[in-house]
Amino acid sequence: MSVSIVPKWFRNLDTVVKLGLGVFVGAFVLIWGGMFLTRPDRSIPPYSVGSQEGTAVAVHVPAWTSDTEIETLIYRFQKVAHEGREFGRMKIRPTTKDDPAGRYQRITIYVFANDHWTEPDILRRYLSLDTSHDPTEQTFRVEFEKTVRGFYRLEGMAEEGRIGRIHEVLQGKDTAGTAAYARLLFKGPVTAALGSPDAPADKPASSPLSPF
């Protein structure tokens, strides 16, 4: 006598419910599989560019991505900046395409583990807050910046990379106390290349301070 591997509770479900569950699970697998297979290599976590507005980019990683894996992604952004700024291979469109100095002279990348925060309308709303004094919008700003899991910024010849929420940092409250929730990975000038593209590690030996 054969034993069915399908749980009894599932067999008892209505056909429509089964189809709905199948579509949900299938969509999740397709999204995750696409992120995994289209990433530049296997040494960084899967990610996708949710939206891009000018020099600002919102990136999504799976919810289970660890801080260590996000750190690896941030260091990869740094490596790309040091080796010619070809962020196109990281699936990012030119951020300063009309700048004679280069197509990626300025870029700010926000890494989220919740794809809601990478929606175009969300990023656009956040970027427009500089001219808004509405308390509701300011609350939105705080929530956006505290939901960030990773942060990379390149401004000309200076760069910065962090792990964790960045609200206090962006509001000018970058003190020793912020290290508990916004760990600084590096902050300094963009200098020579960090080694060959095939180097086993992306982390630089040191990070000199910059005017950032």
Asked whether residue 27 falls in the same domain as residue 71, the answer is no
The 3-state DSSP class for residue 8 equals helix
pLDDT tens for 21-47 read 777 777 777 776 666 655 546 789 999
Average pLDDT over residues 84-104: 91
Residues 118 and 107: their CA atoms lie apart, in Å, by 16
Q: Please give the model's pTM, rounded to 2 decimal places.
A: 0.70
Asked whether residue 112 falls in the same domain as residue 20, the answer is no
Residues 99 and 97: their CA atoms lie apart, in Å, by 6
CA geometry: angle 111, 49, 75, nearest 5 deg: 50
Asked whether residue 32 falls in the same domain as residue 59, the answer is no
Residue 134 pLDDT:
74
Buried b (16+ CB within 10 A) or exposed e, 40-69: eeeebbbbbebbbeebbbbbbbbeebeeeb
Residue 113 has pLDDT above 90, yes or no: yes
pLDDT tens for 179-212 read 666 788 998 998 744 443 333 345 544 343 333 3
Strands 150-155 and 48-53: unpaired
Asked whether residue 102 falls in the same domain as residue 135, the answer is yes
Number of structural domains (the chain) is: 2
Asked whether residue 127 falls in the same domain as residue 144, the answer is yes
Asked whether residue 19 falls in the same domain as residue 107, the answer is no
Residue 13 has pLDDT above 80, yes or no: no
CA geometry: angle 110, 115, 116, nearest 5 deg: 100
Residue 37 pLDDT:
59
Task: Find the range with the poorest average confidence among 34-43, 60-69, 142-151.
Answer: 34-43
Asked whether residue 82 falls in the same domain as residue 110, the answer is yes
